[in-house]
Structure 1
Amino acid sequence: MSRALMLQGTGSNVGKSMLVAGLCRVARRRGLSVAPFKPQNMSNNAAVTVDGGEIGRAQAVQALACGLQPHTDMNPVLLKPETETGSQVIVQGKRLTSVRARDYAALKPQLLERVVESFGRLKEAHDLVLVEGAGSPAEVNLRAGDIANMGFARAADVPVVLAGDIDRGGVIAQIVGTHAVTDAGDAAMVCGFLINKFRGDPSLFDDGYALIQDRTGWPGFGVVPWFPKAARLPAEDALDIRSEHRTEGLHIVCLRLSRIANFDDLDPLAAEPGVRLTMLEAGQALPGDTDVVILPGSKSTRGDLAFLRAQGWDGDLTAHVRRGGHVLGICGGYQMLGSVVRDPGGIEGASGADRGLGLLDIATTMGADKHLTEVCAIHAATDTPFDGYEIHMGNSDGPDRARPFAHVDGTPEGAVSPDGRIAGSYLHGMFRDDAFRAAWLAGFGVASQTGYGAGVEAALDALADHLETHLDVDALLAAAR
Structure 2
Amino acid sequence: MKAIMIQGAGSNVGKSLIVAGLARAALRRGLKVAPFKPQNMSNNAAVTADGGEIGRAQALQARAAGLEPVTAMNPVLLKPESETGAQVVVRGRRRATLKARDYGAMKGELLPEVLAAFREIGAGRDLVIVEGAGSPAEVNLRAGDIANMGFAEAAGVPVVLVGDIERGGVIAQLVGTHAVLPEGDRALIKGFAINKFRGDPGLFAEGMRIIAARTGWAPLGILPHLPEAARLPAEDVMDLARPLARGGALKIAVPRLPRIANFDDLDPLAAEPGVELTLVPPGEPLPGDAALVLIPGSKSTLADLAALRAEGWDIDLAAHVRRGGHVLGLCGGYQMLGKVIADPEGIEGPPGSQPGLGLLDVATRMQPEKRLTSVAGRDLASGAPLTGYEIHIGVTEGPDAARPWLEVEGAPEGAASPDGRIRGSYLHGLFSSDAFRAAYLAGLGAPSLPGYEDGVDSALDALAAHLETHLDLDTLFSLAAPPR
Q: TM-score range by the shorter chain?
A: over 0.9
**Aligned-residue RMSD, C-alpha:** 0.9
Percent identity over the alignment is 66
Question: What's the offset of the Cα at 1:445?
Answer: 1.7
The residue aligned with 1:129 is 128
Question: What's the offset of the Cα at 1:229?
Answer: 0.8
1:237 and 1:244 map into 2 onto residues whose CA distance is 15
| Matched ranges for 1:82-481 at <5 A | 82-241=81-240, 242-481=242-481
Question: What's the offset of the Cα at 1:247?
Answer: 4.4
1:281 and 1:217 map into 2 onto residues whose CA distance is 44
Alignment-mate amino acid for residue 474 of structure 1: D
- Do the aligned residues in 1 keep the contact of 2:53 with 2:93 (CA within 8 Å)? yes
The residue aligned with 1:56 is 55
- Do the aligned residues in 2 keep the contact of 1:78 with 1:90 (CA within 8 Å)? yes
- Over 3 Å counting, the alpha-carbon distance change for 1:132 and 1:356 in structure 2 is same
2:285 and 2:354 map into 1 onto residues whose CA distance is 23
Q: Is 1:16 aligned with 2:15? A: yes
Question: What's the offset of the Cα at 1:261?
Answer: 0.2
Question: What's the offset of the Cα at 1:234?
Answer: 0.4
Alignment-mate amino acid for residue 188 of structure 1: A
The residue aligned with 1:74 is 73
Question: What's the offset of the Cα at 1:248?
Answer: 4.1
- Do the aligned residues in 1 keep the contact of 2:246 with 2:270 (CA within 8 Å)? no
1:16 and 1:395 map into 2 onto residues whose CA distance is 37
Give per-residue Cα distances to partners, 1:150-190, cap 9 Å, x unaligned. Answer: 00000000000000001110000000000000000000100
Alignment-mate amino acid for residue 392 of structure 2: H
1:115 and 1:179 map into 2 onto residues whose CA distance is 26
TM-score, length basis structure 1: 0.99
2:436 and 2:210 map into 1 onto residues whose CA distance is 53
Which structure 2 residue ranges, 5 or more long, are not aligned? none
2:224 and 2:385 map into 1 onto residues whose CA distance is 41
Alignment-mate amino acid for residue 285 of structure 2: A
1:117 and 1:248 map into 2 onto residues whose CA distance is 49
Give per-residue Cα distances to partners, 1:346-396, cap 9 Å, x unaligned. Answer: 112222211100000010011110000000111122221200000000110
The residue aligned with 1:37 is 36
Give per-residue Cα distances to partners, 1:19-59, cap 9 Å, x unaligned. Answer: 00000000000100100000000000000000000000000
Give per-residue Cα distances to partners, 1:391-424, cap 9 Å, x unaligned. Answer: 0001100011110121122211110010100000
1:337 and 1:290 map into 2 onto residues whose CA distance is 18
Structure 1 stretch displaced more, 295-304 or 402-411: 402-411
Question: What's the offset of the Cα at 1:123?
Answer: 1.1
Question: What's the offset of the Cα at 1:286?
Answer: 1.2
- Do the aligned residues in 2 keep the contact of 1:5 with 1:479 (CA within 8 Å)? yes
1:413 and 1:247 map into 2 onto residues whose CA distance is 32
TM-score, length basis structure 2: 0.98
1:18 and 1:317 map into 2 onto residues whose CA distance is 36
Question: What's the offset of the Cα at 1:246?
Answer: 4.5
SS state at 1:174 partner:
helix
Structure 1 stretch displaced more, 144-153 or 374-383: 374-383
2:48 and 2:473 map into 1 onto residues whose CA distance is 30
Alignment-mate amino acid for residue 444 of structure 2: F
Paired residues in the alignment total 480
SS state at 1:52 partner:
coil
Question: What's the offset of the Cα at 1:126?
Answer: 1.1
- Do the aligned residues in 1 keep the contact of 2:47 with 2:391 (CA within 8 Å)? yes
